[in-house]
């Protein structure tokens, strides 16, 4: 039998000079490798491979795995979350994971036979089925083979759209739908991408801001996947049943027909003042996300108001220091 023994000299020392960040004397109570003290769960950060507990009362959730015989071990860097008897670890950073009901913004990456593949910044592209979109001609219009052949007249590669997650496939990827008039192709604006953790799920994801300085209204669509669309406010054109076209704001009258204008690729005329405000809102969103403030309706409204105020005070622009000051004022209010 072989035996591996260390050489007769002393065991390896730590390096002669080792980079040590400014150590936190009271911060790091890490329950690392010691597998003995597992009944008391570590309360701070856990790292991959770190044993959490052997107690059988816990069920293991996301971010953990089971080391035989009965040790629940973390698989990511993150914080422990305990929900009833479920023990999971939420990673500090991860890609957006779709949940049913999420409002997301995506870009068409591929056109397939009866569906599109949409990039939503998740682990896989989402699928948008032809049967899940509003076809011009009303909700009860039958899908024909002509529609399949002309699939690119609806959405083509590179188009941006806002949709809702209808269901999830077995591997976790999403299936989207745009079956309401508030979803669909996006125009007249710009896209800002922020980490998905910065856009929390909330009741209202569409925020309308009254543009300062004589500009029109600016609409912000906050996608839960971190894609934020800032544009001139949408006006949905709907054919009235009696004939004639009416530009309307209400989007709940599904019995009315949606016209082909829904899928138009033409941008409207956007005047310079509105464009400037759109850019300003984009700046606000970016700075908020950068400073770790979650972008929600209220915060966004306050942030925009302060940005306009700062501009009036002569402090135009939100780069660097100005951005930080803006955030401070937001947090203060």
Q: How far apart are CA 318 and CA 284, in angstroms?
A: 7
Binding part of the chain for other proteins, among 23-31, 137-145, 221-229, 310-318 by CB under 8 A, reads 23-31
Position 136 contacts other proteins (CB under 8 A): no
Position 142 contacts other proteins (CB under 8 A): no
Position 168 contacts other proteins (CB under 8 A): no
Helix H or strand E segment including 273? helix 272-290
Position 78 contacts other proteins (CB under 8 A): yes
Position 29 contacts other proteins (CB under 8 A): no
Nearest 10 degrees: Cα torsion 48, 50, 54, 55: -80
What are the φ and ψ backbone dihedral angles of 73, each rounded to 5 degrees?
A: -120, 145
Position 292 contacts other proteins (CB under 8 A): yes
Q: How far apart are CA 39 and CA 58, in angstroms?
A: 11
Helix H or strand E segment including 237? strand 236-239
Position 305 contacts other proteins (CB under 8 A): no
Position 233 contacts other proteins (CB under 8 A): no
Among residues 18 and 142, whose Cβ is nearest to other proteins?
18
| Residue partners of 123: CB distance under 8 A and separation at least 6 | 95, 97, 172, 173
Angle, in degrees to the nearest 10, between helices 297-312 and 272-290: 120
- DSSP assignments along 165-227, one per residue: EEEE-TTS-EEEE--STTSEE--SEEEEE--GGGS---S--EEEEEPSTT--EEEEEE-TTSE
The least distance separating other proteins from the CB of residue 246, rounded to whole angstroms, comes to: 41
Among residues 144 and 333, whose Cβ is nearest to other proteins?
333
Position 44 contacts other proteins (CB under 8 A): yes
**Nearest to residue 141, comparing CAs of 131, 128, 153, 151?**
131
Position 68 contacts other proteins (CB under 8 A): yes
Q: Partners of 273 in the beta sheet?
A: none
User: Considering CB under 8 A, how many residues would be counted as binding other proteins?
Assistant: 57
Position 71 contacts other proteins (CB under 8 A): no
Position 5 contacts other proteins (CB under 8 A): yes
Position 156 contacts other proteins (CB under 8 A): no
Among residues 147 and 159, whose Cβ is nearest to other proteins?
159
Binding part of the chain for other proteins, among 60-68, 129-137, 143-151, 308-316 by CB under 8 A, reads 60-68
Position 4 contacts other proteins (CB under 8 A): yes
Using DSSP's 3-state secondary structure scheme, residue 315 falls into: coil
Give the interface with other proteins as residue ranges (CB under 8 A). Answer: 2, 4-7, 9-19, 21, 24, 27-28, 30, 32-33, 44-45, 47-49, 63, 65, 68, 75-79, 91-95, 109, 117, 119, 122-125, 171-173, 291-294, 299, 331
């Amino acid at each position: 039998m072989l035996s591996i023994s260390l050489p007769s000299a002393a065991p390896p020392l730590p390096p002669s000079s080792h980079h040590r960040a400014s150590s936190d004397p009271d911060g790091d109570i890490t329950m690392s490798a010691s597998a003995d003290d597992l009944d008391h769960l570590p309360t701070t950060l856990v790292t991959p491979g770190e044993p959490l507990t052997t107690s059988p009362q816990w069920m293991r959730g996301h971010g953990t795995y089971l080391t035989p015989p009965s040790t629940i071990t973390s698989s990511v860097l993150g914080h422990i979350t305990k929900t009833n008897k479920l023990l999971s670890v939420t990673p500090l950073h991860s890609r957006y994971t779709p949940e049913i009901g999420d409002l997301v913004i995506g870009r068409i990456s591929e056109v397939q036979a009866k569906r599109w593949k949409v990039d939503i910044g998740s682990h896989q592209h989402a699928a948008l089925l032809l049967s899940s979109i509003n076809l011009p001609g009303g909700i009860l219009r039958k899908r024909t083979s002509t529609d399949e052949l002309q699939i690119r007249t609806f959405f083509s590669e590179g188009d941006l759209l806002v949709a809702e997650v209808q269901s999830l496939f077995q591997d976790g990827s999403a299936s989207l739908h745009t079956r309401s008039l508030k979803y669909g192709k996006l125009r007249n604006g710009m896209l800002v991408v922020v980490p998905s953790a910065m856009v929390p799920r909330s009741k209202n994801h569409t925020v309308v801001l009254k543009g300062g300085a004589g500009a029109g209204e600016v609409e912000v669509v906050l996608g839960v996947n971190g894609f934020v669309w800032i544009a001139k406010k949408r006006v949905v054109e709907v054919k009235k049943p009696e004939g004639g076209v009416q530009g309307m704001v209400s989007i709940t009258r599904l019995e009315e027909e949606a016209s082909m204008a829904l899928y138009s690729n033409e941008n409207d005329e956007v005047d310079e003042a509105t464009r400037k405000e759109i850019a300003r809102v984009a700046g606000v969103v970016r700075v908020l996300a950068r400073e770790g403030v979650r972008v929600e309706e209220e915060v966004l409204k306050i942030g925009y108001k302060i940005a306009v105020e700062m501009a009036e005070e002569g402090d135009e622009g939100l780069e660097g220091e100005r951005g930080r000051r803006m955030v401070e004022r937001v947090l203060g209010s």
